[in-house]
Structure 1
Amino acid sequence: MGLAAVLWRFLALHEDCVADHCTIPAFDIVTTVPSTSGRADHPLRTMVADLVGATRHRYRDLLTPTATAVTLGRSASVERYRSSALWGGNVLLIDDTWTTGNHAQSASAALKNAGADSVAVVVLGRHLNLDFGNTAAHVEQARLRRFSWDICALLPRNHG
């Protein structure tokens, strides 16, 4: 429930900023990056499709992992996911883990191949591995900044 509240608040305040950054008026469709582990009822899907009011009326199950998705490891590949056909529309893709970005990139490619006009990704990070890449430096920099929901991550301005 806590992650659902964070996503809802972030989108309420900053989804328009993400759309502006993509030079589109708005996102028509919201979907999630599905699990490649075979998990049928993923909590992220439940959160975005059912709990978060800012997304539930636009949510569509579009992506499914291919039979070879697990064998692709962490590499980005257009072979990882298949998408239902789209005839235009701007898609907001929600992912719950960001390590390399390859699953989100693979899902975005599948959505574009299926006909999406524009795809943007919002990642709801649950854990930080301080030993991965330069994560520790990013965390240290973040500690130096004062957090405010009103400060946009994309546009250096206060919405308050």
Structure 2
Amino acid sequence: MGLTAVLWRFLAIHEACIAAYSAVPRFDTVTIVPSTSGRTEHPLRAIVAEMSGATRNRYRDLLIPTANAATLGREASPARYTSAALRNRETVLLIDDTWTTGGHAQSAAAALKSAGASRVAVVVLGRHLNGTYGDTAAHVEQARSRRYDWNICALRNGHHG
């Protein structure tokens, strides 16, 4: 329920900015990056398709991992997913639950574009941080020292009105 609340609130405040940044009036369709581990019921699907009022009425199951998806590692690959056809050059908001390298989200976005999406934007609920990589530890400490503000928009570089 907690992740549902985070996604719902985030989209209520920031989805219009994401759409504007993507040069679209709104996102017609919402879908998720499916698991490539063979999991049949992905918790993210329940959050986006059923629980979140911000997404449930626009949700469609579009992406299917290919037979060799799990062997492709973390790099982006056009061979990772296939997508159902999209109608009328739909705009798609793609939700992912983890961002490590971005390879799965990029692969999913490429499949959606190949299937006819006019625009694809990605929102990620989680991010894996390697504290020993580069200056990540310093960024984490800096983030911990600031108070979180839902109204600060990274795309607007400041507060929402």
Smaller-chain TM-score bracket: over 0.9
Structure 2 Cα separation of the partners of residues 11 and 124 of structure 1: 11
Compare 141-150 and 78-87 and name the one that shifted more. 141-150
Preserved CA contact (<8 Å) 2:99 2:128: no
Between the aligned partners of 2:41 and 2:132, the Cα distance in structure 1 is 30
Letter in 1 for 2:7: L
- Counterpart position of 1:155: 156
Match of 2:7 in 1: 7
Q: Percent of pairs identical after alignment? A: 69
Deviation at 1:158, TM superposition (A): 1.3
| 1:74 Cα deviation after fit | 0.9
Q: Which moved more, 1:95-104 or 1:147-156?
A: 147-156
Alignment partner of 1:131 is 2:132: yes
Q: Using the TM superposition, give the Cα deviation of residue 126 of structure 1 relative to its aligned residue in structure 2, in angstroms.
A: 6.1
Letter in 1 for 2:95: I
Kept after mapping to 1: 8 A contact 2:36/2:69: yes
2:27 matched to 1:36?
Answer: no
Unaligned stretches of 5+ in structure 2?
A: none
Taking the TM superposition and a 5 Å limit, the aligned residue runs for 1:62-141 are 62-87=62-87, 88-125=89-126, 128-132=129-133, 134-141=135-142
Shift in alpha-carbon separation, 1:126–1:50, aligned structure 2, 3 A: farther
Instruction: Return the offset for 1:127.
Output: 5.2
Mapped to 1, the partners of 2:151 and 2:43 lie a distance apart of 27
1:106 partner amino acid: S
Whole-Å Cα distance in 1 between the matches of residues 109 and 134 of structure 2? 24
Offset at residue 128 of structure 1 (A): 3.9
Per the normalisation by structure 2, the TM-score is: 0.93
The TM-score, its normalising length taken from structure 1, stands at 0.94
Residues matched between the structures, number? 160
1:83-115 per-position Cα deviation (integer Å, ceiling 9, x unaligned): 000131100000000000000000000000000
Taking only aligned residues, the RMSD between alpha carbons, in angstroms, comes to: 1.4
Q: Which runs of 5+ in 1 are unaligned?
A: none
Equivalent residue number for residue 54 of structure 1 = 54
